[in-house]
Amino acid sequence: MNVIRNSLLALTAATSLAACTTDQYGNQRASRELKGAGIGAAGGAAVGALTGGNVVAGAALGAAAGAIIGAVTNDRNRYEDREGYRTYYEPDGRPYRYDRDGRRRYVRR
């Protein structure tokens, strides 16, 4: 039982360290995968408790499903680094950059 507990703690620590992202201004925030895993774990634990099943198994399955959904729905903006700036593209192809205040500024072509 000790080996399983230690393995789960190591897995949790590794996941929590890898789940943060940093934007171009150095601000750290939780990734969509981490948020999805947290919401999925809470939902899975709730379903497990309400149905009389195993709460831990429900939380684990919910966390896995939430992390997968978070990864699939992650922001897929294309970007490239040009002229010392990171330029992003809308789905329709319009380029934009973020200024120092975090506002989106469209770039002329």
Residue 89: per-residue pLDDT: 81
Residue 83: per-residue pLDDT: 74
Q: What is the pLDDT of residues 24-53, one digit of tens each?
A: 566 677 778 888 888 988 899 899 889 988
Residue 12: per-residue pLDDT: 63
What pLDDT band is residue 6 in, cutting at 50, 70 and 90?
Answer: low
* SS3 labels along the chain: CHHHHHHHHHHHHHHHHHCEEECCCCCEEECHHHHHHHHHHHHHHHHHHHCCCCHHHHHHHHHHHHHHHHHHCCCCCEEEEECCEEEEECCCCCEEEECCCCCEEECCC
For the chain, domain boundaries: 2-75, 77-109
Rounded distance, CA 5 to CA 41, Å?
18
Q: How confident is the model over 71-89, as a mean pLDDT? A: 73
Residue 75: per-residue pLDDT: 62
pTM: 0.53
